[in-house]
A and B are shown apart, each in its own frame.
Chain A
Amino acid sequence: MRKRVGLAVAALLMATVALSGCSSGGNTGMAADLPRPERDPNVDTSRLSAELNVFTWSEYLPQSVISEFEDLYGVRVNYDTYSSNEEMHAKLKAGASGYDIIIPEIYMVKVLRREGLLETIDHANVPNLENLDARFVGLEHDPNNDYSVPYVWGTTGIVVNTERISPDQIQSWDDLWNPAFEGKLVVPDDAREMVGIALRTAGHGLNTTDPAALQAAKEKLKALKPNVRAYNSDSPKDLLLGGEVWGGVVWSGEAALVMRESDSYEFIIPPEGVTIWIDHVAIPKDAPHKYTAEVFINFLLDPLVSARISAEYPYGNPNKAAMPYIPAEDLANKAINPPSEWLEKAESLDDLGDDMNQLYDQIWTEVKG
């Protein structure tokens, strides 16, 4: 009997190895149909390094894109990951050197710039900057994009299971407080996002530091508690798809994944506006392979490469030239590509400093408590 189990196990192992052998080279969905990008003749091969050290989120640069860059330019890409902007910041500050590419959010670009931890990007090496949508360049944190180039972006909105909640029931953020949703919502475990929403309902900005407004926001959030089934920032899609909640406040990337998985979900950004995040590619100070990093940034901005990234990961794409290569269903997905009018009142989160961050955290802890 024992032997038979052993045999079965060995057979299973061999089957998986064989299977993986057959289908390697296959790719996800539409990405495979896109033509491959070509080598840029303007790249000065003699200045390229043998390696490029990328430090970013996991699942942020598709393997196919990395392999293509390696094949075209003969550079080996090392891909190391962090799980928050703060973690990356802490590592850079502690003197972790050797990274060539990082992808911080706007607020972290501000912090890194203030601390002199970023290199300037030589625009002569990144001609593809012109592919970017004008809405995403020359933003206040870096007016000439000397230090940072937009990579992907997203928002926070409300996702609803249309079998349970009609989208008409969500006209504004205030509708989350509807007693009909008792115990049926998931919201992120995130002080800035949640306090921000409460501030919005009272007509304040997301980066409010006024103590009275924050106090009122706290009371407002306490009133939301009966409707909240779970505080979950990392994987609310499990709760949604598992039917445990009917809807909730969810990051757009997560919402897009839910919507790819099931047709009965819809994404809504209430008219009072939302948070928007825009992650930027940047080069840390003293990066050992600066020129190669700039070639890599230019490569990421290639329309075909950019479309491939979008096919793989459901985030907003600031690359206008890539739009013709993005499938229509993704462009119609409001979590990936929200209508422009939804974004009119979108705001980025600012770094409010330690004291304010602490106050926000304290409010949020009290609300949950």
Chain B
Amino acid sequence: MKGKRDWLKLHAVLVYVFLYLPILILIVLSFNSSRTSAVWKGFTLNWYVKLFQNRLLWEAVQNSLIIATATALIATTLGTAAALSLHRRQIRGRLWVEGLLYLPLVLPDIVLGVGALVLFTALGVGLGLGTMLAAHVGTSISYVVLVLRARLADMDQRLEEAARDLGATPWQTLWHVTLPLLAPGILAAVLLSFTLSLDDFILSFFTAGPGSTTLPLRIYGMMKTGLTPEVNALSTVMVLVTGIATTLYLRLTQNRI
């Protein structure tokens, strides 16, 4: 019995090592004074200095954040509305409607990316932040609907019915009963669509135009001509920021419960 537990412990440790070792190496090498990643030549903060001076990288970070925030807000709004109407109404051919909504989840991104590019070109729309945002929102809606449909399925129908019984108008029911009940799902949908958009490479690659390079595109571009430890430094900063955000989030939610 005890032996078994030791194995499990070892297994767990190995999983964590596998998950975090690459990140650890990345962080360590961000302090390497050599330009190439292979040889350790001594400690330096030079790459952080360079990072903060690298306007192109920061512009890319900025583009990524703009797109991700806008995507999260727009996709969550549209997706929540879609989920609500799918939940409430008896729509004819509902299976089809739902199926078509979920298809982008399983379709390879490359198909969606090429499709978006062909569409925008055919319409004569100039590629840029706008087209990229449209593509991101389009695919994120599916995820939002999926998350909220699950939440709606768990929601007690009788609460809405009781509100109406007590004389609330449909709007009042929506604002004071339904949306507060859905809040955790909506928050999850916002976070999910934000992360998906921030991560996205393929859709962005196809729909990017002048001045809309996002962070993943910028880093990919650097691969060919010189991936310097600046990228490591940037990743370290991102790990720190997300680490702090997650800690805060956990603290806040734990205190409340």
Cβ of A58 and Cβ of B38 under 8 Å apart? no
Does A265 lie at the interface of the complex (its beta carbon under 8 Å from any beta carbon of B)? no
A257 (CB) vs chain B CBs: closest residue: B35
Give Cα distance in the complex from A16 to B53, angstroms.
Answer: 12
Q: Name which residue of chain A comes closest to B51, CB basis.
A: A20
In-complex Cβ contact of A94 among B48, B53, B121 (8 A) = B121
Determine whether B111 belongs to the interface, using a CB cutoff of 8 Å to chain A: no
Q: Which of B36, B212, B223 contacts A238 (CB 8 A)?
A: B36
**B50 — nearest CB in chain A belongs to which residue?**
A20
B48 surroundings in chain A (CB, below 8 A):
16, 19-20
> Is A83 a contact of B210 with CB atoms below 8 Å?
no
Contact digits for A198-241, partner B, Cβ 8 Å, 1 yes 0 no: 00000000000000000000000000000000000011011101
Interface residues on A, range: 35 or more
Complex CA gap A242/B32 in Å reads 14
Any B CB within 8 A of the CB of A340: no
User: Which residues of A lie under 8 Å from residue B126 when comparing CB positions?
Assistant: 97-98
Q: How far is the CA of A60 from the CA of B226 in the complex (A)?
A: 10
A166 contacts chain B at the CB level, 8 A cutoff: no
Does B36 contact A83, Cβ atoms closer than 8 Å?
Answer: no
Which residues of B line the A interface, CB within 8 A? Answer: 34-39, 45, 48-49, 51-56, 117-118, 121, 126-128, 208-213, 217-218, 220-227, 237, 240, 243-244, 247
Chain B residues near A80 (CB-CB < 8 A) = 208-213, 217
Q: How far is the CB of A235 from chain B (nearest CB, A)?
A: 7
Q: Which residue of B lies closest to A96 (CB)?
A: B127
Answer yes or no: A59 CB below 8 A from chain B CBs: yes
Contact, CB under 8 Å: B38 / A234: no
Residues in B whose Cβ lies below 8 Å from that of A6: 244, 247
Interface string of A18-29 (1 = CB under 8 A from B): 011101100000
Task: Tell me whether A261 and B223 are in contact (CB under 8 A).
Answer: no
Instruction: Tell whether, in the assembled complex, residue A83 and residue B45 are in contact, meaning their CB atoms are under 8 Å apart.
Output: no
Q: What is the chain A residue whose CB lies nearest that of B124?
A: A95
Can you identify 28 A-B contacts, CB atoms within 8 angstroms? A13-B237, A13-B240, A16-B237, A23-B49, A24-B52, A58-B218, A58-B222, A58-B225, A58-B226, A63-B55, A79-B213, A80-B208, A80-B210, A80-B211, A80-B217, A84-B224, A96-B209, A97-B126, A97-B127, A98-B126, A235-B36, A238-B37, A241-B38, A241-B39, A242-B36, A257-B35, A257-B36, A261-B36
